[in-house]
Structure 1
Amino acid sequence: MDDFIIYLRLGFDHITDPSGYDHILFVVALCAVYTLRQWRQVLILVTAFTIGHSITLALATLQLIHYKTQLIELLIPITILITAVVNFFFQEPKARFTKAVNQRGRYSLALLFGLIHGMGFSNYLRSLLGREASIVKPLLAFNLGLEIGQLVIVSFVLLLTYVILDIVHSSRLRWTLVVSGIVAGMALSLIINNEYLSELIK
């Protein structure tokens, strides 16, 4: 099998792996306030996250930036918790200007948190690369795999939202609060059980 396909598959498997569900939780939190009809806004939001994690994934894999792995593993669930908590206060603005400002704020948050998640992705990719002569092709393939996996998660969340809101006719506010509450609870559990945090508290 071509190396490009191998790394593409590894990227896809990494972000969709239920055993490493932190990145899945973040994407779910990003989408929790949107409906299927708002897929364009979600696409822009996810693109902002992709830009962020692509930048630091490349820089970290090329060893142009350095950081504590344990710190990133703590920051990732913190970004999930913040995103979920922000959802609790989300209201769909009616005025066009207010709506634009609100959306830009969410896009900026996704971009910023994408930078942190990219460093988390790079830890896994670096462990796979070993002594590869050139990492540009594997890096591109892995990142593309992440993006495809990310879009699969987004599609699933939006379709589930459509079923709950348009077929079951549940309240949109209730759905947002339930999903965000579950994500916040799981993120809080990851933070509390983080070994690096335990060391800092001692």
Structure 2
Amino acid sequence: MSTLTSAPHFLAFLISLWILSLAADHHEVIVKDGEDVTLHCQAPRDAQINMFEWIRPDLESDGYIFRFIPEESTTVNQHSSYRGRVELRDPDMKDGDLSVVLKDVSVSDTGTYRCRVGISGGGKPKVYSTIQLIVSDPGSEDGNSSPVGLLVGLAAVGLVLGAVAVAGFLKYKRCKNKRSGPSAADDDKASAVQFI
């Protein structure tokens, strides 16, 4: 039997792929309080961009961090704590570079940032970048006041251990079924037939 066709191995394989896909789509950036940080977003080089926006889903309001729509102001409905602190890294957006610079960050800027891009003929806007920004508190001993990395690591370890436990249980059950063999009544019948 192939390694990937047995249920426990296939399950472990799928969980591994899921963990790897999470790591590929999610970038963590750590900066110190008061610094400037670039939030990277790369759209297709030759695409005609109808709109793009940087959002922070964990904010309490619907305001965005930065929005670009041709012929429209970038500050309409912008979240008030980001006014005057966010600008395009490249105002010409050459080669699809939609990165923004967030100036003078503070611990309250810690959170998840997403770059959503609407492309001409591309349908609904889609997320091209997700960044977990961690702004360290200068007063903390290790310079990092957020346990996000630790939590992600613990979740990954928990998933792997869960997959191993399921695989072990299924293997135990399969071995137990093979060892139990025929029932005692079947043994008695087989002995009686041999005796005659």
Q: Which protein is bigger by CA-based radius of gyration?
A: 2
| TM-score normalised over the length of structure 2 | 0.28
**Bigger share in helix:** 1
| TM-score normalised over the length of structure 1 | 0.27
**Bigger share in strand:** 2
